[in-house]
A and B are shown apart, each in its own frame.
Chain A
Amino acid sequence: MRITLSLLCLLAMASFVSADWRQFRGDDTTGSSSSCQLPDNWTADGENVAWKVELPGRGPSSPIVVDGKVIVTTADGADLEQLHILCYSAADGKKLWQRNFWATGRTFCHPQTTPAAPSPVSDGKNVYAFFGSSDLVCLDLDGNLKWYRGLGYEHPKAGNDVGMASSPIVIDDTIVVQIENQGDSFAAGINAENGQTRWFLPRAEKANWASPIALKAVNSGDESVALLQSSDGVTAVSSKSGVVLWELGGGASTISTSLTTGEQAFVVSKGLTVLDLKDPRVKPEIVWEANKLNPSSMSPILHDGKVYTINGTGVLNCGNAETGDLEWGLRLKGKFWATPVIAGQKLIAINYDGLAMIVDLSGKKGEIVEEIEMGENVQATPALGDDAMYIKGERHLWKIANKQ
């Protein structure tokens, strides 16, 4: 009887567990969710908008979804020195909390961006918000500050005046940040418990906007691996110690970010290069290279055996994830900063002008089936949740979902 009750409790709890999207392109970095069902259409101000809120400040950072909470970062102020972390209820858009901090590092950037360009990340317990000023904040999910680290204050020349954008990752209680520019350039592993540095790795003094990715450990207890990407190539480091495990030259993108399935890494290098990660601690073999799948400024996404990229001329390319063969291309409209997402069989690509294009992937070739004007610039990659999508524009955050 007791077992039955426990099972019932567990089932009841499970039914309330919401889908998380804890980092840029989701928990698994593929940018897709097969189970997420979105409405066929929506409008910026009404149809299938579950809620819409106005944001204080702006920034290209992507929203994340953790435990029914949508968390975003923005920046504003005379010199964009005011850093904001905002938390909204995924259910109704109610603002649950807002925390504000002063940037302690350089905040200069191109007018199109702000220091709120890196996306926040969560391990399910805390949110780690990183800013282009190299400020790193740890808050619990109720908005209580756990620690604050002014990496830009410690390294005053850390700063790319175009604007830094590399998003942090969290692996095994370590936050990995890449701060690469013409001044103080480094990657670091920060103890998630207290904000102290676990390791510090000097990096080439060259501008780099790409984010690190986490390569999963093979066996429980093995050290996890972070893959750092730069114009020199990729560098695999132990996430706990920062020890360099292997490097692969040949150059890589300084803007778009690679992804990994755990078994393979899709690295933005020479177009797209796939590495076989039998053991992420060991230098991998190259499975294939596909120059035609070059993702330009957006990052690649992976769905149902296909890899998708948008090139510099706005063509959405679909490649076979096993072979790298280009299967089809579809010209989209406008210029892009936001990486698309895939929900079910729909790819949603939103251009800088705020035109959302829904591409149906169910046929042999992708087809634009809807175009929706969001009415403001969009640079942030959307987040997916329980049959919902969160779009962060320059001034607003939307939840798009079928009306219940």
Chain B
Amino acid sequence: MMRFYQSLAAGLALLLCVSPLVAGEATELINKINAISSEALGYPEAVKAVTALSQMNADAIPEVLAAMKQDRPVAANWLRGAVEAMADKARQAGKPIANDTLIAFIESPAHSPKSRSVAYNLLKQQDEEAAQKLVPSFENDASLELRLLAVDKLIEDAQGKLQDEQTEEAVATYQQALTATRNAHQAKVIADALKELEVEVDTTEHFGFLKNWHVIAAFEFAKGDGFDAVYPPEKEINLEGSYPGKLIDEIPAPAKWQPLTLGKGEKRVDFNKAFAPVKEVVGYAVTTFDSDEAQDVELRWGSPNATKVWVNGNLVASDKVYHAGDNFDQYTAKTKLKPGENTILVKLVQNEQTQSWTNVWHFDLRVCDHLGTAIADAKP
């Protein structure tokens, strides 16, 4: 008799484990996942929650998707894992989430870009044709993942028009694609195609790389201590100033500011060209950026050298990394601009490495919004 009750209890427990829960029960589980902190607190509770959530039926998917927050990327991944497991099980059971539900979710701007992108991929898995129909509507989407698809489609359309010898229409479509893209690779593909068609494109301008600088060098690297050493440009910006510099033949002291203006298509502030290819030196570049209004912006820059960046005298980033790569938007710092003139100062440190690939001393920098859209300098 005892064995019977034990078996019954075990059976019921098993049934409870595998039975899909109803959508309304998802909220508490989601909250446990969204409560995890960056210090990995709340994980044991979240482990149980994601296991239970993953067993729910497809009806719960919209609620889980809607709980994905842009500012909680780790929790968003937990929820994505749960959603994909739920969708897999629903498909295998022949009860996938309805296309209309997913489409409504994707089309709602109230939902986060991350969640809409996951919804799109779920739709694509179960009905590729329905997903493809949505792609043109992503041209100016807040989700860069979705926008990428729309720009790819525009590029494809432009190529098709070219094949049909509709050159003007192709140019217009390429230009439409360039306006939409926030991706460096896509912009290059488009710019190269337009160049072939003899249409001038300045991707430097498109991405908002700053072109008008003053540069000064060379200060002492001091066996690496120069990164933290405070040289005169960090205390005052006086473009007429003259300062004791590092005593090297290639860059005779004293150090003085000199203008450096980039041409069309150029984005790189190259100290090796402005001064001389030298090692173990510190340089600075300064520019002013006129803002129409007080606004939150992102500075994005790339450099193979160590960098520090100040805005209006406030240090916004410090990256003591040498020769580990030089990428588009390699570093990002959120900052506030005041109305009118803002000063942006960059410290650029070249180290002692001797390999051939370390003979570089340059950076590029742009001002943009959180999507990477260039913000124009309001200077006349």
User: Interface of A with B (CB < 8 Å)?
Assistant: 77-78, 97-102, 104, 108-110, 135, 137, 139, 143-150, 153-154, 157, 160-162, 181-183, 193-197, 205, 207
CB-based nearest B residue for A143 = B85
**Which of A109, A147, A153: most chain B Cβ within 10 A?**
A147
Question: Is the pair A101, B81 in contact by a Cβ cutoff of 8 Å?
Answer: yes
Neighbouring B residues of A193 by C-beta, 8 Å: 44, 47
A149 to B37, CA, bound (A): 11
Q: Do residues A195 and B144 form an inter-chain contact, with CB atoms below 8 A?
A: no
B129 close to chain A: CB less than 8 A: no
Known: A102-B76, A153-B73. 7 other contacts (CB 8 A): A78-B183, A99-B84, A147-B43, A147-B50, A154-B38, A195-B47, A205-B320
Segment touching A, from B1-9, B166-174, B293-301, B324-332: B324-332
CA distance A283 to B145 in the complex (A): 51
A157 partner residues in chain B, CB cutoff 8 A:
319
Can you list 5 A-B pairs, Cβ within 8 angstroms, ordered by A? Answer: A78-B148, A101-B80, A143-B84, A161-B325, A194-B43
- B324/A100 in contact, CB under 8 A: no
Query: Given the known A-B contacts A78-B148, A104-B74, are A143 and B88 also in contact in the complex, defined by CB atoms under 8 Å?
Result: yes
Q: Are B77 and A104 in contact (CB under 8 A)?
A: yes
Nearest A residue (CB) for B322: A182
Whether, in the assembled complex, B282 has its beta carbon less than 8 Å from a beta carbon of chain A, the answer is no
Task: Note all chain B residues with C-beta closer than 8 A to A100.
Answer: 80, 84, 121
Contacting pair A161 B324 (CB below 8 A) = yes
* Minimal beta-carbon separation of A95 from chain B (angstroms): 11
B82 is an interface residue with CB less than 8 A from chain A: yes
Mark contacts of B63-97 with chain A using CB atoms, 8 A cut-off: 1 yes-contact digit, 0 otherwise.
Answer: 00000000001101110111011001000000000
B175 in contact (CB, < 8 A): no
Chain A residues contacting B261 (CB-CB under 8 Å) are none
Collect the chain A residues with CB atoms within 8 Å of residue B183's CB: 78
Which of B43, B73, B81, B114 is A195 in contact with, Cβ under 8 Å? B43
Interface: B51 (CB within 8 A): yes
B165 / chain A contacts, CB cutoff of 8 Å: none
Chain A residue with Cβ nearest B325: A161
**Taking the complex as formed, is B54 at the interface, i.e. its CB lies under 8 A from any CB of chain A?**
yes
CA distance A238 to B56 in the complex (A): 40
Q: Which residue of B lies closest to A81 (CB)?
A: B145
Contact status of A161 and B84, CB under 8 A, knowing A102-B73, A147-B43, A194-B44: no
Closest CB of chain B to A153's CB: distance in Å? 5
Contacts of B44 in A (CB 8 A): 193-194, 196
Residues of A within 8 A of B148 (CB): 78
Q: Which 10 A-B pairs have the closest CB atoms?
A: A145-B81, A161-B325, A150-B74, A161-B324, A182-B321, A148-B77, A194-B43, A101-B77, A108-B327, A104-B73
B185 at the interface (CB under 8 A from A): yes
Tell me which residues across on chain A come within 8 A of B76, comparing CB atoms.
Answer: 102
* CB neighbours of A194 from chain B (8 A): 43-44, 47
Known: A145-B54, A147-B78, A182-B320. A78 touches B325 (CB 8 A): no
**Inside 8 A of B325's CB, which chain A residues have their CB?**
108-110, 161-162
Contact among A77, A108, A145 with B85 in the assembled complex (CB-CB below 8 Å): A145
Q: Does B39 contact A (CB under 8 A)?
A: yes
Task: Check B46 for interface membership: any CB of A closer than 8 A.
Answer: yes
Question: Taking the nearest CB of chain B, how far is it from the CB of A154, in angstroms?
Answer: 5
A137 to B80, CA, bound (A): 12
Q: How far is the CA of A137 from the CA of B82 in the complex (A)?
A: 13
B40 sits at the interface (CB 8 A): yes
Bound Cα distance A154, B325 (Å)? 22
B contact residues vs A (CB 8 Å cutoff) = 38-40, 43-44, 46-47, 50-51, 54, 73-74, 76-78, 80-82, 84-85, 88, 114, 121, 144-145, 148, 183, 185, 319-322, 324-327, 330
A162 vs B324: C-alpha distance when bound (angstroms) = 5
Q: Is the CB of A146 within 8 A of B51?
A: yes
Q: Which residues on A sit within 8 Å (CB–CB) of B144?
A: 78
Contacts of A144 in B (CB 8 A): 51, 54, 81, 85
Check A154/B39 contact, CB under 8 A, given A143-B88, A145-B54, A182-B322: yes
Report chain A residues within 8 Å CB of B145: 77-78
Report chain A residues within 8 Å CB of B54. 144-145
Which of B39, B85, B121 has the most C-beta atoms of chain A within 10 angstroms of its own C-beta? B85
Asked whether A181 lies within 8 Å of B324 as measured between CB atoms, the reply is yes
Cα distance A154–B37 in the bound complex, in angstroms: 10
- Residues on B with C-beta less than 8 A from A196 are 40, 43-44
Q: How far is the CA of A146 from the CA of B49 in the complex (A)?
A: 9
Residues of A within 8 A of B51 (CB): 144, 146
The answer for the CA separation of A114 and B71 in the assembled complex, in Å, is: 24
Please state if A195 and B80 are interface contacts (CB–CB under 8 Å). no
A82 to B84, CA, bound (A): 14
Verify A161–B330 contact, CB threshold 8 A. Answer: yes
Complex CA–CA separation, A182 to B307 (angstroms): 13
**Which residues from B are CB-within-8-Å of A108?**
325, 327, 330
> Which of B73, B144, B319 has the most chain A CB atoms inside 10 A of its CB?
B73
A99 to B185, CA, bound (A): 26
Pair B73/A183 contact, Cβ less than 8 Å: no
Is A197's CB under 8 angstroms from B88's CB?
no
Set of chain A residues within 8 Å of B80, measured between Cβ atoms: 100-102
Could you tell me the distance between the alpha carbons of A108 and B319 in the complex, rounded to whole angstroms?
Answer: 15
Contacts of B319 in A (CB 8 A): 157, 183
A157 to chain B, nearest CB (A): 7
B76's nearest neighbour on chain A, judged by CB, is A102
Whether B81 pairs with A139 at a CB distance below 8 angstroms is yes
Please measure, in the bound complex, the distance between the C-alpha atom of A145 and the C-alpha atom of B88, giving whole angstroms: 13
Minimum CB distance partner of B68 in chain A? A102
For the complex formed, measure the closest distance between the CB of B154 and the CB atoms of chain A, giving whole angstroms: 15
From the candidates A101, A161, A181, name the one contacting B327 in the complex (CB within 8 A).
Answer: A161
User: Of all chain A residues, which has the CB nearest B118?
Assistant: A100
Output the least CB separation between B319 and chain A (Å): 7
Closest CB in chain A relative to B30 CB, distance in Å: 14
A143 / chain B contacts, CB cutoff of 8 Å: 84-85, 88
Q: Compute how far the CA of A197 lies from the CA of B85 in the bound complex, rounded to whole angstroms.
A: 26
Would A195 and B40 count as touching, CB distance under 8 A?
Answer: yes
Given A78-B144, A99-B81, A139-B81, A161 and B321 contact (CB-CB distance below 8 Å): yes
Residues of chain B lying within 8 A (CB to CB) of residue A161:
321, 324-327, 330
Supposing A109-B325, A161-B321 touch, asked if A153 and B78 sit within 8 A by C-beta, the answer is: no
* Cβ distance B84 to chain A, nearest Cβ, rounded Å: 6
Q: Which residues of B contact A153 (CB under 8 A)?
A: 38, 73-74
Q: Which of A78, A143, A145 has the most CB of B within 10 A?
A: A145
Write the nearest CB–CB distance from A142 to chain B, whole angstroms: 8
Task: State A143–B88 Cα separation when bound (angstroms).
Answer: 10
**Across the interface, do A148 and B38 meet the contact criterion of CB distance under 8 Å?**
no
Would you give the shortest CB distance from A205 to chain B, in whole angstroms?
8
Cα-based distance from A295 to B236 in the complex (angstroms): 52
